[in-house]
Amino acid sequence: MLLEIKNLHARIDGNEILKGIDLQVNAGEVHAIMGPNGSGKSTLASVLAGREEYEVTQGEIWYNGKNLLELSPEDRAREGLFLAFQYPIEIPGVSNTNLLKTAVNEIRKYRGEEELDAMEFLELLKEKSKLVELDHKFLSRSVNEGFSGGEKKRNEIFQMAVLNPKLAILDETDSGLDIDALRIVANGVNKLRSKDNAIIVVTHYQRLLNYIVPDFVHVLYNGRIVKSGGKELALELEEKGYDWIKNDKSEVTV
């Protein structure tokens, strides 16, 4: 199993956001995590990536045979965990190329592989930039600085393509994308799907899942996964809205 989350509880500033998450992800699978605003979707993504503001109070996360919670954020990345940010960060003065070159070589060093030389690296960038139809000029521009919302999201998927993660978490990658950009991003992600890696798609809306078709859909509500199913669950949600879950949930608990 690539990822196993057991009874995960996490809080920020004293507020408990995750209240017992259980999730299992195998290599080759795509999982969608859906839920209304404030249900804990982005918190889950942040906890997996190792954001320090979030405190895990209970539970375990096992990733690729390792206790994920004991790894620093950079070591998680080097172990092949990638987070496509909901709000990608601007880093003035640091070019995309420079960031990726540093990242690729740090990851390779960690794995005991040789660093890529400049030619091999540029070749890799060229190949991967085609995946998301990213213009070459973006490579020399500062990371996300002055990028439109869509360009930032495309840049995240481009970085994912270059870093070739085992587990990619896409945090609301569809938000702020028009339909064309959505298609490009989704195509890029689909080309990266393989039997060796897994993808967790965190999203509010079903529309992204028309393009990135998930194997499993989980509905997160109030810090817990309240419903799991196949891809048809997403359609059902779209049709009935989150109130269905909320009402359903209240019926169960009453």
Partner 1 sequence: MSTTETQKIEELANKEYKYGFVTEVEEDRLPKGLNEEIIRQISAKKEEPEWMTEWRLKAFRHWLTMEEPKWPNVKYPPIDYQDISYYSAPKKKPKYNSLDEVDPAIRETYNKLGIPLEEQMMLAGVAVDAVFDSVSVATTFKDKLKELGIIFCSMSEAIKEHPDLVKKYLGSVVPYTDNFFATLNSAVFSDGSFVYVPKGVRCPMELSTYFRINASETGQFERTLIIADEGSYVSYLEGCTAPMRDENQLHAAVVELVALDNATIKYSTVQNWYPGDKEGKGGIYNFVTKRGACRGVNSKISWTQVETGSAITWKYPSCILQGDNSIGEFYSVAVTNNYQQADTGTKMIHIGKNTKSTIVSKGISAGRSNNSYRGLVKITKKAENARNFSQCDSLLIGDKCGAHTFPYLEINNSTAQVEHEATTSKIGEDQIFYLNQRGISTEDAVNLIVNGYVKEVLAELPMEFAVEAQKLLSISLEGSVG
- Under the rule (CB under 8 A), what is the footprint of partner 1? 49-53, 72-74, 76-78, 82-83, 85, 88-89, 91-95, 98-100, 102-103, 106-107, 110, 142, 159, 163
Taking the complex as a whole, the smallest distance from the CB of residue 77 to partner 1 amounts, in Å, to 4
Residue 39 or 159 with smaller CB distance to partner 1? 159
Residue type, 61: I
Determine contact, residues 206/182, Cβ cutoff 8 Å.
no
Taking the complex as a whole, the smallest distance from the CB of residue 53 to partner 1 amounts, in Å, to 6
Taking the complex as a whole, the smallest distance from the CB of residue 187 to partner 1 amounts, in Å, to 23
Q: Single out the residue of 49, 43, 113 nearest to residue 75, CA to CA.
A: 49
Taking the complex as a whole, the smallest distance from the CB of residue 189 to partner 1 amounts, in Å, to 18
- Range 94-98 contact pairs with CB under 8 angstroms and sequence separation of 24 or more: 94/142, 94/143, 95/139, 95/140, 95/141, 95/142, 95/143, 96/138, 96/139, 96/140, 96/141, 96/142, 96/143, 96/155, 96/158, 97/125, 97/139, 97/140
> What distances in angstroms separate CA 209 from CA 143, 162, 169, 171, 228, one per listed residue?
28, 23, 14, 13, 15
Residue 11 or 78 with smaller CB distance to partner 1? 78
Q: Using the 8-state DSSP alphabet, how is residue 69 labeled?
A: G
Taking the complex as a whole, the smallest distance from the CB of residue 199 to partner 1 amounts, in Å, to 16
Q: Residue 18 and residue 39: Cα distance in Å, rounded?
A: 8
Residue 91 or 226 with smaller CB distance to partner 1? 91
Residue 159 or 206 with smaller CB distance to partner 1? 159
Taking the complex as a whole, the smallest distance from the CB of residue 88 to partner 1 amounts, in Å, to 7
Sheet (strand 3-12) strand order:
15-25, 3-12, 55-63, 66-67
Residue 25 or 77 with smaller CB distance to partner 1? 77
